[in-house]
Homo-oligomer: A and B are copies of this chain.
């Protein structure tokens, strides 16, 4: 039976199913089991038989049915990724890396969005998740939502948490936020700024909290005064707003923003108020997003290795899925990228 005939047959009876192992077996004159063996690349098949089967597969346009495979084996070769809006630079880059790493390992990615980070929504996402065909989950949302909600992840489901903390319930892969924040703060102090102001991310974000705490600790360690924190929401808008506040205070000479977007907003505020960067005010960001080298002035920032985070989280998860070994949490280093937005105070 040719592929065209096959499809015609199926079109006729209204089903859209592709050819099955049985069809291939018939075409090749072997048993279904032999087709299965060829399909799974086992070596205990006579080369000649294998060729015949492969030829039959090709001519019929056979594709293994992943649902049947999953049903039989109990494994889906799929990883669920739960995340808020992708609209954060870091999340996006991390997801990208996860997708690539997963594909390399033969896993597909099942994206589960949580449009609004409320407990209700998280709950819904998790409920949905439990019906999803995934072998494990990578969570890229603020974990406090896990702590507080009575949401239950399906037990026995391997989980890796990214860029957050999760008590010690799950392994965590995170950027070394504290290290990055220390690098940024020390860089500014080493330029002889008396102290460093901080435009932080939202209160409930762990990344934001870690960066802020490390900034504060670094200032204290160097005997510098700790100015009040300005809290933003990661957006350049909020950076702009807080930047305007800082611009009014002539004693401010060094600002560490918790991400590049807010740093961009701060830069805009400085331009608007005529305060020279880096002449009067130095600014450091966090993330090293692709665009930050084109900001004006090009932004000194802390580079995160999102690819590494994605890669490691997939690695950890698949390890857990395949060998049952629960991974340990790991930190990914950061590095300071000095560009043109920092200089000694006037």
Contacts and interface: CB of A to CB of B under 8 A. Distances in A.
Contacts of A235: 290
A60 B110 CA distance: 26
How many copies of this chain does one complex carry?
2
B113 A96 contact: yes
B93 A156 contact: no
Contacts of A63: 130-131, 154
A105 interface: no
**Interface size, A (range):** 35 or more
B115 A100 contact: yes
B294 A265 contact: yes
Given A67-B133, A237-B294, A18 B100 contact: no
B87 A96 contact: yes
A86 B87 contact: no
Nearest to A83: B99
Interface stretch (A68-76, A173-181, A193-201): A68-76
A132 B106 CA distance: 11
B64 A67 contact: no
A112 interface: yes
A267 interface: yes
A344 interface: no
A61 B100 CA distance: 33
Given A96-B113, A113-B103, A131-B66, A16 B74 contact: yes
Interface in A92-114: 92-93, 95-96, 99-100, 103, 108-113
Nearest to A101: B113
A111 to B, nearest CB: 4
Nearest to A264: B294
A261 B110 contact: no
Interface in A107-158: 108-113, 115, 128, 130-133, 154-156
Interface string A267-279: 1100100000000
14 contacts: A63-B131, A63-B154, A64-B131, A66-B132, A68-B71, A70-B70, A81-B111, A86-B96, A109-B112, A110-B110, A110-B111, A261-B290, A268-B295, A291-B291
